[in-house]
């Protein structure tokens, strides 16, 4: 009896072993043969946002895809078969996305396996500049895409200083002698983005150091003192204008006279024209007036109070100037700025401290 039981157990074990062997023969081992990125058919490589087609066997029942051990990749299960599935390569700085070779793990209904994929850095692009027209000597913001691992920024082949604000924004420092029409190049490991930079027209009216198209300044009216060669300031000599309360004339000012227009005949739009001037004063509340005269004897002015006695650069849109010496109701928005040929600077005698000492330097007209 014992012998019969022993033989029965041996037969059952043999049958079980045979059945297991049959099942092993029918089981397909999950495997990935290739990861092909579209378009371009990159093998085991892909750019961010590429669709990748995974080909192999035993791939049905895909449950999860994880890139670089930390980024979960979404996929459409309806595009999953035993032979293939498709996913899109994500790229999110906040999640830690990076370029280079990294692991990618696939979890199916029966198993999981890890392969290596290389995420390639795209070529950067430049979409726009802020402002649209640059000014030599002023910062310029460059907006674009894929500003990662920037190795250099050049203009006309010369290296520029720059600040990387984000992967889509770089602020560059433009040299004062930058030439309009120069090529800007931003270089990364992915390639180079290029753009021709057009510069604003910049007219130096006077820097009180002997440069500019108006050099010989004089004062008039109720002025107590005027010195166009005060030492120091932001960049050498500057002009100092003092009003001490006199109202005998009812007006005051300083000028270097008229003459030919500052801008060319093609520079007509007041909304594209600006006055840049470095200013200071002896006391907050000192009230500047800047007057523009034209070859047609029109005048527009811009009046403002000093809020900081330290030197600062004041930028004024010419479209914001007003007629009637700055007190009128009509702005200069429709003024043909190519007609402007004189700049006058003084103190508004009402509602200003006594004395008011205003200081100014580096007067420029900019058209962009």
Give per-residue pLDDT as tens, 275-334.
999 999 999 999 999 999 999 999 999 999 999 999 999 999 999 999 999 999 999 999
Instruction: Answer whether residue 2 shows pLDDT above 60.
Output: no
pLDDT of residue 247: 96
User: Which residues 6+ apart lie within 8 Å of 347 measured at CB?
Assistant: 241, 243, 252, 286, 287, 288, 289, 356, 358
Count helices and strands in the chain by DSSP H and E runs: 1, 28
For residues 226 and 238, what is the distance between their CA atoms, to the nearest angstrom?
11
201-206 and 162-166 beta bridge pairing: unpaired
pLDDT of residue 282: 97
For residues 234 and 364, what is the distance between their CA atoms, to the nearest angstrom?
14
Per-residue confidence at 51, pLDDT binned at 50, 70, 90? very high
What is the side-by-side order of every strand in the sheet holding 125-130?
125-130, 139-145, 169-173, 162-166
Please compute the mean of the pLDDT values over residues 33-54 and round it to a whole number: 92
DSSP-based three-state secondary structure for 318: helix
pLDDT of residue 27: 54
With a pLDDT cut of 90, the percent of the chain lying above it is 80
Q: What is the pLDDT of residues 216-275, one digit of tens each?
A: 999 999 999 999 999 998 989 999 999 999 999 999 999 999 999 999 999 999 999 999
Please state the φ and ψ torsions of residue 6, each to the nearest 5 degrees. Answer: -60, -45
User: Which residues 6+ apart lie within 8 Å of 25 measured at CB?
Assistant: none
Q: Determine whether 343 is exposed, middle or buried from the number of CB atoms within 10 Å of its CB (0-12, 13-18, 19+).
A: buried
Please state the φ and ψ torsions of residue 21, each to the nearest 5 degrees. Answer: -65, -40
Q: Which two tokens stand for residue 242?
A: 């003092």
User: Which residues 6+ apart lie within 8 Å of 106 measured at CB?
Assistant: 32, 54, 59, 62, 64, 65, 112, 113, 114, 115
Per-residue confidence at 339, pLDDT binned at 50, 70, 90? very high
Mean pLDDT of the chain: 91
Please provide the distance, in angstroms rounded to a whole number, between the alpha carbons at the two ends of the chain.
109
Instruction: Answer whether residue 179 shows pLDDT above 60.
Output: yes
Per-residue confidence at 361, pLDDT binned at 50, 70, 90? very high
Task: Calculate the CA dihedral of residues 256, 261, 263, 264 and round it to 10 degrees.
Answer: -160
pLDDT of residue 133: 86
Cis amide linkage into residue 64, ω under 30° from 0: no
Is residue 160 a contact partner of residue 136, using CB atoms and an 8 Å limit? no
With a pLDDT cut of 70, the percent of the chain lying above it is 92
Spatial CA neighbour of 212 closest among 347, 343, 335: 343
Is residue 96 a contact partner of residue 137, using CB atoms and an 8 Å limit? no
For residues 256 and 275, what is the distance between their CA atoms, to the nearest angstrom?
16
| Beta bridge partners of residue 170, listed in sequence order | 142, 164
Per-residue confidence at 5, pLDDT binned at 50, 70, 90? very low
Q: Determine whether 237 is exposed, middle or buried from the number of CB atoms within 10 Å of its CB (0-12, 13-18, 19+).
A: middle
| Beta bridge partners of residue 113, listed in sequence order | 106
Per-residue confidence at 35, pLDDT binned at 50, 70, 90? very high
Q: b/e map of 128-148 (b: 16 or more CB within 10 Å)?
A: ebeeebbbbebebebbbebbb
Q: The tokens 């007209």 sit on which residue?
A: 365
Q: What is the pLDDT of residues 105-119, one digit of tens each?
A: 999 888 888 999 999
Q: Which two tokens stand for residue 70?
A: 């930390």
- Report CA Rg, the chain: 37
pLDDT of residue 41: 79
For residues 199 and 156, what is the distance between their CA atoms, to the nearest angstrom?
13
Q: The tokens 């310029």 sit on which residue?
A: 140
């Amino acid at each position: 009896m014992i012998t019969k039981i022993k033989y029965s157990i041996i037969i059952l074990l043999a049958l079980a072993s045979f059945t297991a062997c049959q099942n092993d023969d029918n089981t397909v081992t999950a495997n990935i043969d290739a990861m092909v990125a579209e378009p371009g058919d990159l093998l085991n490589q892909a750019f961010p946002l590429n669709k990748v087609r995974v080909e192999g066997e035993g791939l049905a029942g895909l449950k999860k895809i994880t890139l670089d051990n930390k980024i979960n990749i979404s996929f459409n299960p309806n595009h999953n078969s035993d032979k293939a599935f498709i996913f899109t390569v994500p790229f999110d700085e906040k999640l830690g996305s990076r370029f280079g070779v990294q692991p990618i793990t696939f979890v199916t209904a029966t198993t999981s396996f890890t392969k290596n994929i290389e995420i390639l850095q795209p070529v950067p692009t430049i979409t726009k500049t802020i402002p649209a027209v640059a000014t030599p000597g002023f910062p310029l913001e460059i907006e674009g895409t894929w500003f990662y691992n920037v190795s250099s920024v050049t203009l006309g082949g010369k290296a520029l200083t720059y600040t990387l604000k984000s992967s889509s924004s770089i602020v560059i420092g433009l040299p004062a002698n930058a030439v309009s029409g120069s090529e800007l190049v931003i270089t990364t490991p992915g390639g180079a983005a290029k753009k021709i930079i057009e510069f604003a027209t910049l007219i130096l009216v006077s820097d009180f150091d002997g440069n500019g198209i108006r050099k010989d300044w004089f004062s008039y009216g109720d002025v107590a003192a005027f010195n166009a060669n005060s030492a120091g300031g932001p960049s050498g000599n500057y002009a100092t204008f003092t009003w001490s309360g006199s109202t005998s004339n009812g007006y005051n000012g300083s000028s270097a006279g008229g003459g030919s227009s500052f801008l060319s005949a093609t520079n007509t739009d007041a909304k594209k024209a600006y006055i840049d001037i470095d200013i200071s004063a002896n006391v907050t509340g000192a009230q500047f007036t800047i007057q523009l005269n034209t070859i047609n004897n029109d005048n527009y002015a811009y009046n403002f109070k000093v809020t900081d006695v330290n030197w600062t650069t004041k930028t004024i849109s010419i479209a914001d100037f007003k007629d009637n010496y700055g007190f009128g109701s009509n702005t200069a928005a429709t003024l043909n700025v190519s007609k402007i040929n004189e700049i006058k600077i003084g103190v508004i005698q009402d509602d200003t401290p006594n004395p008011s000492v205003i200081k100014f330097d580096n007067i420029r007209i900019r058209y962009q």
